[in-house]
Amino acid sequence: MKKDFICLKDFTPAEVANLLSLAKQVKHNPRHGCDFLKGRSIAMIFQKPSNRTRVSFETGIFQLGGNAIYLAPDDISLGKREPTADIARTLTRFVDGIVARVFSHQDLIELSKYSTVPVINALSDESHPCQALADMLTVQERFGKVSGLTMAYIGDGNNVCNSLISICSKVGMHLRIATPKGYEPSPEFVRLGEECGKKTGSKISVMTSAEDAARGAHVLYTDTWVSMGQEEETARRLKDFEGYQINAKLASLADKEYIFMHCLPAHRGQEVSTDVIDGPRSVIFDEAENRLHAQKAVMIFLYTFKHQ
């Protein structure tokens, strides 16, 4: 039996708490799990170029004693050179796990369906669960807790936003999402987040006012307004997102001990002003580092589950 890490909405609050606890252990004791992937190889399918995702996964696999096999976009041409199902069936015969950074979430579903080894979502157009897990670890480190805090996500209701909805609702954190009309997050993620929040005490709110979202928030979070593959929409998006920049004026509405978060890469002067992202309240590089620890926790969790 195997378990995948495709989307956080598929995990229970208890499992998310377990992953966060495990990530904390891994970070403070680098030797924890150092032989966990000994003798195992992990295929890394990347349709998109990457800095943090590739380096953090390769390093994490190495630190757990495993071997990472990087497969660049032209190495496989997922779904083009041969069906995704055939790729999954073939890789399953060679490797012990698959990490995939893809454009279409459906490719992950296909890989998971036809693979007999764990599949990890390293990013898709629908969700970015590894990022959200690292984000929550960062918040926990800064405030000593996550439950009862308020995060304001201001910008595009994209894959990162969807995953933040899932994880906030699992850990009891309130999430206010401010986006222009037409850029709201997935209604399905919002619905599931609201349902889960009834049990954990989390409140998920979607609005158009960046000021209302930021007021009293402990965390201000944004992402690029133009994601990879949306370059043709740049001019329209920059116009539509006017007024949604996180800057000193907007940040003045937040809690006085607020932290600023961004999954990176960032565009200074667009979604965030330079003084905020490079200021004393910014934790973007702690956040980036925590990708390594969160992903190691995910791999330990999946392989523990697989061999129970």
Which of these is catalytic: 131, 140, 245, 270? 131
Which of these is catalytic: 4, 63, 223, 262? 223
Q: Round to whole Å and give the CA distance between 148 and 131.
A: 21
* Contact predicate 257/218, CB 8 Å: yes
Q: Can you read off the two tokens belonging to residue 183?
A: 């850029």
Name the pairing type of β-strands 67-71 and 41-46. parallel
What type of residue sits at position 148? G
Residue 275: CA count within 13 A, CB half-sphere: 6
E strand spans, the chain = 41-46, 67-71, 97-101, 119-123, 150-154, 174-178, 204-207, 219-222, 259-262
Which of these is catalytic: 156, 196, 263, 295? 263
The answer to whether residue 10 is catalytic is no
Directed axis angle between helix 284-306 and helix 13-28, to 10°?
A: 110
Which of these is catalytic: 54, 105, 128, 176? 128
The answer to whether residue 291 is catalytic is yes
Q: Residue 187's Cα: distance from chain center in Å?
A: 18
Tokens 């032989």 identify what position? 35
The answer to whether residue 223 is catalytic is yes
* Contact predicate 194/170, CB 8 Å: no
DSSP per-residue string spanning 161-184: HHHHHHHHHHHT-EEEEE--TT-P
The answer to whether residue 131 is catalytic is yes
Which of these is catalytic: 52, 101, 218, 293? 101
Please enumerate in sequence order all residues whose Cβ is within 8 A of that of 141, keeping only pairs 6 or more positions apart, or say none. Answer: 286, 290
What type of residue sits at position 300? I
For the annotated catalytic residues, the residue numbers are 101, 128, 131, 223, 263, 291
